[in-house]
Amino acid sequence: MTPPPGQLAPATRPSAKPAQPGADQSAPLVTGISGNVAERREGRLATFVRGRWIHTIPGRIRAYTAAILAALAVLLTVLTVAVGNARDSVQTIGHDAGPQVVATGTLYFALSDMDAQVSNILLMGRDHDLGIGYDATLRVYERRRAEAGAAAVQAAQLASRDADLRTTVQQVLQGLGRYEELVGRALLLDQQADHPAGRLPGQVVDAYRQATDLMRLELLPKAYNITLDSGANVRQAYETKRSAVLSGRAWVAVTGALVLLLMIAAQVYLARTFRRVLNPAMVLATVAAAVLAAVGTGLLTAQAGHIRTAKQDGFDSILALSRARAISHSAFADESRYLLDPGRADTYEQTYLDKSLSVLYPDLGTRPVVLENYYTGLDEQVGAYTPGGPVRFLGFFGDEARGIGRGGPEADALVRTLRSYRTVLDNDRRMRALAAGNDRPGAVDLRMGKSSSALRDFDAYDAALRGLTGVHQDVFDQAIDDADGGLRGWSALPPIAAAAIALLVLAGVRPRLAEFR
Amino acid sequence: MRATRTAAAVGVLTVLAGTSACGLDGSEPHTVARKHSLVIGVKEDQPMLGFKRGGTYEGFDVDVALYVAGRLGVPRDRVRFRTTNSSVRESALASGAVDMIFATYSITAKRKTQVTFGGPYYVAHQDTLVRADATSIGNVRDLKGKRICEVTGSNSWRRVVEERRIAARPVTAPTYGACMDDLAAGKLDAVSTDDLILAGFAAGRGVRIVNAPFTDEKYGVGLKKGDLEGCELVNRAITRMYQDGTAARLLDKWFGKSGLKLTTSVPQFEGCS
């Protein structure tokens, strides 16, 4: 987080005990003759402790030099630590945990969509051409099953050091096995029943209820929590690393200023003592140190900005929108469930409303929160919305709308998404009107796209939403690229620059010291 | 010359001290994650959930609060409960009068703009309670023409009459306790509200929960807006509470005899924001 407090000591040491390194350096100059080593050490120590040397001109020069070199060493250390922190944070958010967390989001989506495909198959019954067709629906189910497996592997990797998270992942995998058994039974009963579309016999509905309850009440919440929990780790790493980079930046600025102050003080002393206006090597060293500190500070500022962009406009938005997408698919499946299980129609209508509210929550004022008012509230408030203007709705899209400017690809993608979302809800309204008017076959045909563009409209919404997520993915990739690019070369540059500055300082004071030989 | 140097050194030290102090203070001061003691807001009038009996609080909410506080490193003797009624929940969190709220506090989009919610630690559902001998009522639609309880200040009856458009006849009562008495006395046919609240009243009264839930009420842990770190820790505590069997045990302890179908699998968390 903040640089370790131990660094405070080296930073202040040059002014507190300036003499020690200078005394070491002076050894070969002062005592060039051979003799008893121990005696000579003692003599030197005594001289050092008496402290009269500091009042000599070479003593002063050496003290300045030592202080400058020590401060330079601290600057180098602080800069290296801060750049290391910046590198770590880019690695975590951009390359390791960040993308893995996003990948676990696929788990929720894939599981949810498996159950959606099952509900579609059951709804179509013997009418195998409904919707995208029986075989294609089964293929989607199999693909989602594979995606869920792959996402679970990612989740298991993320959970390797967290026992509770690992338990959750295991419970999801075990539950998935049970779910597949229950689905197998429901599909078998469904085939045997050979029923017309939308008219399921009781035992098929019962078998499906067991499967979908397991999925919706146990597996999906756990899958959702896995992404939230591992996302929390990324947030904590982000907060910690970003504040470390920022306080590292402050330390670089302060130690940089200290180096400069010492260099200027040394030059003023040299100029006064030797009556020379400029010491070219020292001037060069001062300029180089100023540039190093300034560029280092600038780099850390830029890195903190890149990380912030990647986290807030990238990672957070991608996660939120992928949740919105998964919830939308799950709500779309609630339409199928609403039609295939009339006994629970009220419940599935309520879950459809709840899910729609979490995606987009129009301000309904005092009107009761029911689907009918949702449709009108949605039309009013989304219809009145322009990017950059006031936002009256909450939910995932409300957050998104509040976070964007007046124009740009993000605003365009959001407007497309909102427009297609309204169409999806409009289809829902018509479907429920048919079902409520006892025209169940009509409602099934509408929902399955036989008499409407409901499936195409939902696909268009899904594509728009993926487009919007893609915009944030681009922002994320760009920020991580910038961060990686900015850090390139920063392992070697600080030590090389510090060594060059140190050499320039030594080159600057050497001729002056030589005058006293 | 020496004066200049000393001044410079002092200046540098001051700045350094300032920097490190900022670094320490800047890391989320208002979090329940690092508190020595906790003040927790609960209800005092909901049997089996949050109920005050002779100066001490008891119920499911209270037990869950103690478990979560324990996982945050605050033992029972450093937890203080405070009655927090529905109308003051947001302001009590904002002012710091309470650190956390466990009080049948439903997570809604609107409240999320003022409060950070951990959990939910349980998803309750609106359900219906009838006299044990009233077999004609099997779900909410059967309430058509029946007398249901309208508790002053509660929206539950609206969910039947306005949201479900079921022509039930609301009869007012001051509290759910009074509804129970009216139901027993035959002045009412049904009481419809959160199933856990119904279960709290149901035990030993000759009544029956119809087990036909028609809404989701996500009981969240109210935290001061922005306490993401505390919220994440609360969620981990709730995860553990379900994994180690404590949740199932507490649900059975408080609601096992009510005849209510209980969910013993961890709920879907809201996400900290």
- Which single residue is written with the structure tokens 């350096």? A25
Q: Does A251 touch chain B (CB under 8 A)?
A: yes
pLDDT of A20 > 50? The answer is no
Residue A220 parent element (H or E) = helix A220-274
Domain ranges of chain B: 32-122+218-258, 126-209
Mean pLDDT value across residues A284-298:
95
Q: Where are the beta strands (DSSP E) in chain B?
A: 38-42, 45-46, 50-53, 56-58, 79-83, 100-101, 115-124, 126-131, 147-151, 169-173, 190-194, 207-209, 217-224
Per-residue burial over A425-459, b = 16 or more CB atoms within 10 Å of its CB, e = otherwise:
bebbbebbebbeeeeeebbbbbbbbbebebbebbe
For residue B18, what pLDDT is reported?
46
CB contact under 8 A, B272 and A228: yes
CB pairs under 8 A between A and B: 117
Give chain B positions within 8 Å (CB) of A358. 109
For residue A41, what pLDDT is reported?
67
pLDDT tens for A54-79 read 778 888 888 999 999 999 999 999 99
Rounded to whole angstroms, what are the CA distances from A92 to A88, A107, A132, A241?
Answer: 6, 21, 41, 10
For residue A246, what pLDDT is reported?
94
Q: Does A239 touch chain B (CB under 8 A)?
A: yes
Q: Assess whether the previous peptide bond of B120 is cis (omega < 30° from 0).
A: yes
pLDDT tens for A304-337 read 999 999 998 899 999 999 999 999 999 999 999 9
Greater pLDDT, A16 or A188: A188
pLDDT of A8 > 90? The answer is no
Q: How far is A35 from chain B (nearest CA, A)?
A: 37
Pairing assessment for the beta strands B169-173 and B147-151 based on DSSP bridges = parallel
Distance CA B230, CA B33 (A): 5
In this prediction, residue A35 has a pLDDT band, given cuts at 50, 70 and 90, of low
ipTM entry: 0.84
**What radius of gyration, in Å, describes the C-alpha atoms of chain B?**
24
pLDDT tens for A413-465 read 999 999 999 999 999 999 999 999 989 889 999 998 888 889 999 999 999 99
CB contact under 8 A, A394 and B5: no
Mean pLDDT value across residues A154-158:
85
Give chain A positions within 8 Å (CB) of B220. none
For residue B38, what pLDDT is reported?
93
Q: How far is A394 from chain B (nearest CA, A)?
A: 7
pLDDT of A371 > 60? The answer is yes
Give chain A positions within 8 Å (CB) of B240. 164
Greater pLDDT, B85 or A113: A113
What integer best gives the mean pLDDT of chain A? 87
CATH number of B126-209: 3.40.190.10
Answer yes or no: are the C-beta atoms of A423 and A461 closer than 8 Å.
yes
- Which single residue is written with the structure tokens 């060493």? A73
Nearest to A251 among B19, B216, B235 (CB): B19
The DSSP code for B77 is G
Fold of B32-122+218-258: D-Maltodextrin-Binding Protein; domain 2 (3.40.190)
Portion of chain A with pLDDT greater than 90, in percent: 59
The dihedral through the CA atoms of B113, B114, B117, B123 has a sign that is: negative
Q: Does A254 touch chain B (CB under 8 A)?
A: yes
Domain ranges of chain A: 56-243+252-514
pLDDT tens for A222-251 read 999 999 988 898 999 899 999 999 999 999
DSSP A301-363: HHHHHHHHHIIIIIIIHHHHHHHHHHHHHHHHHHHHHHHH-GGGHHHHHHHHHHHHHHH-B--
Helix (H/G/I), strand (E/B), else coil: B24: helix
Pairing assessment for the beta strands B79-83 and B38-42 based on DSSP bridges = parallel
Alpha carbon distance, N-terminus to C-terminus of chain B: 55
Q: Which residue of B has its CA nearest to A243?
A: B23
Scanning B17-56 for CB atoms below 8 A from A yields 19-20, 22-24, 26-28
Residue B75: φ, ψ to 5°: -75, 165
User: What burial class does residue B39 get, using C-beta atoms within 10 Å of its C-beta: 0-12 exposed, 13-18 middle, 19+ buried?
Assistant: middle
Joined together, the tokens standing for residue B121 give 């630690």
Distance CA A306, CA A90 (A): 9
Distance CA A262, CA A64 (A): 7
Answer yes or no: are the C-beta atoms of B191 and B168 closer than 8 Å.
no
For residue A293, what pLDDT is reported?
95
CB contact under 8 A, A351 and B267: no
pLDDT of A14 > 80? The answer is no
Distance CA B157, CA B154 (A): 7
| Sites in chain B below the pLDDT cut of 50 | 1-3, 5, 10, 12-28
Scanning B235-264 for CB atoms below 8 A from A yields 235-236, 239-240, 243, 263
Chain centroid to CA B26: how far? 30
Distance CA A255, CA A288 (A): 14
The least confident of A94-103, A166-175, A373-382, B219-228 is A94-103
For residue A38, what pLDDT is reported?
65
In this prediction, residue A40 has a pLDDT band, given cuts at 50, 70 and 90, of low
Q: Which of A77, A81, A215, A346 is the best substitution to test chain B (most B C-beta atoms within 10 A)?
A: A346
In this prediction, residue A298 has a pLDDT band, given cuts at 50, 70 and 90, of very high
CB contact under 8 A, A254 and B12: yes
The dihedral through the CA atoms of A177, A181, A182, A187 has a sign that is: positive
The DSSP code for A151 is H
Scanning A117-146 for CB atoms below 8 A from B yields none
Helix (H/G/I), strand (E/B), else coil: B103: coil
Joined together, the tokens standing for residue B84 give 């927090």
Of A341, A366, A359, whose CA–CA distance to A425 is shortest?
A359
Give chain B positions within 8 Å (CB) of A350. 214-216
Give chain A positions within 8 Å (CB) of B262. none
Of B140, B111, B112, B144, whose CA–CA distance to B128 is shortest?
B140
Same fold, B32-122+218-258 and B126-209: yes
